[in-house]
Amino acid sequence: MATPATGDRAATTRRTRVVVVDDHDLFRAGLCRLLGDEPAIHVVGDAPDGERAAGLVTARRPDVVVMDIHLPGMSGIDATRAIRALAPDTAVLMLTVSDDEDEILEAVLAGASGYLLKDAPLPEIVRAIRCARAGQALLAPAVAASLVARVRRQGWPDGPEPPAHGLSARECAVLELLVAGRDNTEIGRHLHVSPSTVKHHVSSVLEKLGVENRVQAAVLAVREGIVAAPAPCVAGPRWPEAAGARSAP
């Protein structure tokens, strides 16, 4: 029988059980292999989307989930909320390309225990996993600076409110500009993100609202009061397709 001291030491030296969640198969497989080579880490599963990640967490009970934000279906932020509700002892470390201030804040408010960008070196990722398991938070320097700037400008919210139709704060902002008839380039310029990021958000908005195109999303958003109707103008909103047409986001 192990003495208390031996038991404590065994608990301390137990390998950290990790699940990796990313929709890019090559990146996910490569990260699993690299983390699997770390003596202190045991990769117990991987998933390409948030829904399967939540199932893996329930089945495998990892210490840490390494999570991308932009996932098909359930976003990484929504998956973080679900995982924290299912398994409060499981920490979530965001590993993503997004340095968007609102997404960083949403991830932290959703319960993420760290936030790194995908250009982080492996030792930094390993250290963040170790910190997350220990109940500490590690933010990439650029992420920390962005978060501080965001809080200084707008303050820290009292708490996350359930967004309409499951839309995130950033998706609501995109939808508001979409209702005003802005295209992806204009939305990206206004929100200081790339058009490709805007396209991702628009696709997510259409999916969450259950509509086929931007016009249907705009009509639904105004009708149900998700966003305010735009002020009247001579030209009107510059939507690129008719209400019944299907088009790319």
Instruction: Using the predicted structure, report yes or no on whether residue 232 has a pLDDT greater than 60.
Output: no
Q: What is the pLDDT of residues 64-104, one digit of tens each?
A: 999 999 999 889 999 999 999 999 999 999 999 988 888 88
Provide, rounded to the nearest whole percent, the portion of the chain with pLDDT above 70.
80
| Same domain assignment for residues 99 and 17 | yes
pLDDT score, position 138: 84
H or E element at residue 9? helix 4-13
Cβ 42 vs Cβ 18: under 8 Å: yes
| Same domain assignment for residues 39 and 71 | yes
In a domain, 1, yes or no: no
User: At which residue do the structure tokens 């932290």 appear?
Assistant: 108
| Same domain assignment for residues 117 and 21 | yes
| Same domain assignment for residues 141 and 187 | no
| Same domain assignment for residues 224 and 172 | yes
Burial class (CB in 10 A: 0-12, 13-18, 19+), 27: middle
Cβ 50 vs Cβ 18: under 8 Å: no
Residue range 16-25: mean pLDDT, rounded: 97
Q: What is the CATH number of the domain that holds 112?
A: 3.40.50.2300
Q: What is d(CA 249, CA 54) in angstroms, rounded to the nearest whole number?
A: 27
In a domain, 104, yes or no: yes
Q: What is the pLDDT of residues 181-211, one digit of tens each?
A: 788 888 888 888 888 888 888 888 888 888 8
Share of the chain residues as helix, strand and coil, in percent rounded to the nearest 5: 50, 10, 35
Question: What angle separates helix 195-209 from helix 214-223, to the nearest 10 degrees?
Answer: 60
Query: What is the total count of domains within the chain?
Result: 2
| Same domain assignment for residues 139 and 200 | no
Instruction: For residue 45, give the 3-state DSSP assignment.
Output: strand
pLDDT score, position 220: 80
| Same domain assignment for residues 41 and 142 | yes
Q: Quick one: DSSP state of residue 118?
A: T
Q: What pTM, to 2 d.p., does this model score?
A: 0.63
Residue range 154-164: mean pLDDT, rounded: 56
Q: What is the pLDDT of residues 38-67, one digit of tens each?
A: 999 999 999 999 999 999 999 999 999 999
Is 172 or 215 the better-scoring residue by pLDDT? 172
Instruction: Using the predicted structure, report yes or no on whether residue 5 has a pLDDT greater than 60.
Output: no
Q: Would you tell me how many other CB atoms lie within 10 Å of the CB of residue 19?
A: 26
Nearest CA to 121 among 103, 147, 90, 95?
95
Instruction: Using the predicted structure, report yes or no on whether residue 159 has a pLDDT greater than 60.
Output: no
Residue range 213-242: mean pLDDT, rounded: 61
Q: Would you tell me how many other CB atoms lie within 10 Å of the CB of residue 157?
A: 12
